[in-house]
Copies of this chain bind each other. A is one copy, B any other.
Amino acid sequence: MKKYSEMSREELLGLKKDLEKQFEEIKAQGLALDMSRGKPGTDQLDLSMGMMDVLAGGAELKCETGVDCRNYGVPDGIPEAKRLLGAMSEVDPDHIIIYGNSSLNVMFDTVARSMTHGVMGHTPWCKLDKVKFLCPVPGYDRHFKITEFFGIEMINVPMTENGPDMDMVEKLVSEDEAIKGIWCVPKYSNPQGYTYSKETVERFARLKPAAPDFRIYWDNAYCIHHLYDDNQDFLVEILGECERAGNPDLVYKFTSTSKVSFPGSGIAAVAASKANLEDFRKYMQIQTIGHDKLNQLRHVRFFKDLDGLHAHMKKHAALIRPKFEMVLEILDRELSGLGIGEWTKPHGGYFISFESMEGCAKAIVAKAKEAGVVMTDAGATYPYGKDPKDSNIRIAPTYPTVDELAKAAEVFVVCVKLTSVEKLLAE
């Protein structure tokens, strides 16, 4: 394979002609495929259909302390749900609060609470001139949307295979009191599928923030979402690590069953120090009458325990692993050695991160759309939707069928090639 950058203008022009022909042929197929969303496929949802049955037929609807889950009460979660999501989070159930569907909602409310009421007695952020968050990039667009919505200034921190650039994190956090948080997806990160190294977690736990109300927003969305039985990533548990480092209040850890049971009807949890949980509870006891306890019970009856969760996640992996492998195989076959893109090969999670040549991502995504393949908007993985190099594209392979995905990936690589050729010819 010859690198595109080493091709002559004539070679590139010839290639362009070929690619344009391919592109027109694809367009003529009238495809309508979607690789944009980290959305489980229908076959994955079918794995949890038993959840609809466990409370049927007059089943007992009391939790283990005898409370009737149909009625009011137990606002911070039934004990067995705390145990289940505690095990999933590798945290003692005493350090867990259970919420409703959508851990994103819990993160949003946490920022909202910090704005209006401050963190553990500190000044509410809405009373400060400036509040900043660190954003490892590329990262999860919905995180960035939250901080943007509250007018919080976002600072990009480059991601590496081992997590965020910790030299930069340490420096910024220790120097600037306006920096109040950092968004992290520490395991099988969105979009790269990277897992923070032991050293990274240890350095996080030992941060010396200038702001006493600085918190790490640790979104452990993919904690048990492995693709392989072997070849699993390991993430050091940060709550314990913070405690050992004498920083027990430094982190909020979020998790949910959105991609375990049903994205539309899961349960979420936050794990934190008892002092932090008091902050959460004070807010929650005013905010709500309580979250859906029957759905908590449903999850516990269906999954039973951590072994049950792991066994279930293997079934998910069996369905989505072939999809990841299919995309990676096509990227490898079609793009290796051409010097026009790089991509990650995750061991878990929901995404593959693709880096095109600089200045090509928007054009590639636009071309793919023209050809009937919807990708995540280019730029979405950066704060304010602004990818400074215009190079990152998030590939979400889980929702289409394997056949659809094969087609979509073939379209994608043609779009990458054509855009890259056009870029080189324009230089």
> Which residue of B has the minimal Cβ distance to A282?
B149
Chain B's nearest CB lies how many Å from the CB of A156? 20
A116 touches B264 (CB 8 A): no
What 0/1 readout, one digit per residue, does chain A (54-67) give for beta carbons within 8 Å of chain B? Answer: 01111101000000
What 0/1 readout, one digit per residue, does chain A (385-415) give for beta carbons within 8 Å of chain B? Answer: 0000000000000000000000000000000
* Contacts known (A45-B70, A56-B52, A150-B116); A265 close to B289, Cβ less than 8 A: no
| Chain B neighbourhood of A49, CB < 8 A | 58
Chain A interface bracket (under 10, 10 to 19, 20 to 34, 35 or more) = 35 or more
A1 contacts B by Cβ under 8 Å: no
A71 touches B39 (CB 8 A): yes
| Chain B neighbourhood of A100, CB < 8 A | 100-101, 291-292
B291 touches A101 (CB 8 A): yes
* Contacts known (A45-B70, A56-B52, A116-B115); A264 close to B286, Cβ less than 8 A: no
Tell me which residues from 344 to 361 in chain A have a Cβ below 8 Å from any Cβ of chain B. Answer: none
A276 contacts B by Cβ under 8 Å: no
> Which residue of B has the minimal Cβ distance to A67?
B264
What 0/1 readout, one digit per residue, does chain A (121-158) give for beta carbons within 8 Å of chain B? Answer: 00010110000000000000010011001100000000
| Chain B neighbourhood of A72, CB < 8 A | 37, 39, 263-264
The CA-CA distance from A70 to B39 in the complex, in Å, is 11
A19 contacts B by Cβ under 8 Å: no
A71 touches B289 (CB 8 A): no
A105 contacts B by Cβ under 8 Å: yes
Chain B's nearest CB lies how many Å from the CB of A61? 8
The CA-CA distance from A289 to B286 in the complex, in Å, is 22
| Chain B neighbourhood of A57, CB < 8 A | 52-53, 56
A240 contacts B by Cβ under 8 Å: no
What 0/1 readout, one digit per residue, does chain A (4-31) give for beta carbons within 8 Å of chain B? Answer: 0000000000000000000000000000
> Which residue of B has the minimal Cβ distance to A104?
B289
The CA-CA distance from A114 to B388 in the complex, in Å, is 34
Chain B's nearest CB lies how many Å from the CB of A408? 19
The CA-CA distance from A292 to B288 in the complex, in Å, is 16
A262 contacts B by Cβ under 8 Å: yes
Question: Which positions in A face B, CB cutoff 8 Å?
Answer: 37, 39-40, 42, 45, 48-49, 52-53, 55-59, 61, 68-73, 100-102, 104-105, 108-109, 112, 115-117, 124, 126-127, 142, 145-146, 149-150, 258, 262-265, 286-295
